[in-house]
């Protein structure tokens, strides 16, 4: 086993096939400008949820609500539409990662006039 490499479970299950598939893609791309599948555990993952502020009209949510009612799906009182961003970060420090994500939201991902955002480090 190479130093730093995660051990492979030889159970023949989906995990092994996916691991081998990642390696095949890695070598098919010529291993240039691509992170090794071994190092994928070192990346930090985060989720950013952007929603409309309360009091802002949501025509897309109303359209979805109407479509659900027309499909005879009962029990849904109201729908508000939003956006979810799943992000992989190169930095493993939680505090700096949260700062980077907040900056991304303030500059690009969310229109702070009409939208709220929530950052969650996974």
Number of domains, the chain: 2
80-89 pLDDT, tens digit each: 999 999 999 9
pLDDT given for residue 93 in this prediction: 85
Q: What is the CATH number of the domain that holds 48?
A: 3.30.1280.10
Are 74 and 31 contained in the same domain? no
4 assigned to some structural domain: no
1 assigned to some structural domain: no
89 within 8 A of 45, measured Cβ to Cβ? yes
Are 117 and 96 contained in the same domain? yes
Are 78 and 108 contained in the same domain? yes
Q: Is the torsion defined by CA of 18, 24, 29, 33 positive or negative?
A: positive
30 assigned to some structural domain: yes
pLDDT given for residue 17 in this prediction: 55
Which residues share a beta bridge with 99?
none
pLDDT given for residue 1 in this prediction: 43
Q: Could you tell me the residue range of the domain that residue 61 belongs to?
A: 43-121
117 assigned to some structural domain: yes
- List, for the chain, all residue ranges whose pLDDT scores fall below the cut of 50: 1, 3
């Amino acid at each position: 086993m190479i130093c730093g490499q995660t051990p492979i479970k030889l159970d023949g299950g989906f995990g092994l096939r996916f691991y081998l598939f990642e390696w095949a893609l890695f070598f098919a791309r010529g291993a240039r400008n691509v992170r090794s599948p071994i190092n994928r555990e070192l990346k930090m993952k985060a989720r950013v949820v952007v929603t409309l502020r309360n009091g802002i009209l949501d025509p897309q949510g109303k359209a979805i609500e109407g479509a659900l009612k027309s499909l005879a799906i009962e029990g849904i009182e109201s729908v508000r539409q939003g956006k979810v961003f799943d992000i992989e970060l190169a930095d493993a420090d939680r505090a700096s990662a949260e700062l980077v994500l907040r900056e991304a939201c303030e500059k690009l991902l969310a229109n702070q006039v009409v939208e709220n955002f929530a950052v969650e480090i996974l």
